[in-house]
Amino acid sequence: DVKVTQSSRYLVKRTGEKVFLECVQDMDHENMFWYRQDPGLGLRLIYFSYDVKMKEKGDIPEGYSVSREKKERFSLILESASTNQTSMYLCASRPDARGYTFGSGTRLTVV
């Protein structure tokens, strides 16, 4: 089975800190995605990447950046964490026209 692994299940960070969320997939997928999930708002796309060193903005990219230096790894960066970035963050990869595989999520709390 395809595995998408997110490095942390729970994180607590302070306001203003630079935060790195890591995601690794083991199936050589081209496409990788970062979503955040908040109660009542569903899943919202932050950034996605079609290939190494390529990135595209999703629906809510403000306050975030991403890095894709290797095919298997897609990192989400919060340049200066704020309390409104407290959320569940979900990484996903997708081979082609088939379904996405999601990681288990990272629940980030910014205090």
- The contact set with other proteins (CB under 8 A) reads 4, 31, 33, 35, 40, 42-43, 45, 48, 50, 58-59, 90-92, 94, 96-105
For strands 10-13 and 106-110, give the pairing.
Answer: parallel
Task: Kindly tell me which of 94 and 110 has the beta carbon lying closer to other proteins.
Answer: 94
Q: What's the min distance (Å) between Cβ of 100 and other proteins?
A: 6
Task: Kindly tell me which of 16 and 97 has the beta carbon lying closer to other proteins.
Answer: 97
Write the DSSP string, 6-38: ES-SEEEE-TT--EEE-EEESS--SEEEEEEEE
- Among residues 78, 27, 74, 77, the alpha carbon closest in space to that of 53 is found at 74
Q: What's the min distance (Å) between Cβ of 22 and other proteins?
A: 15
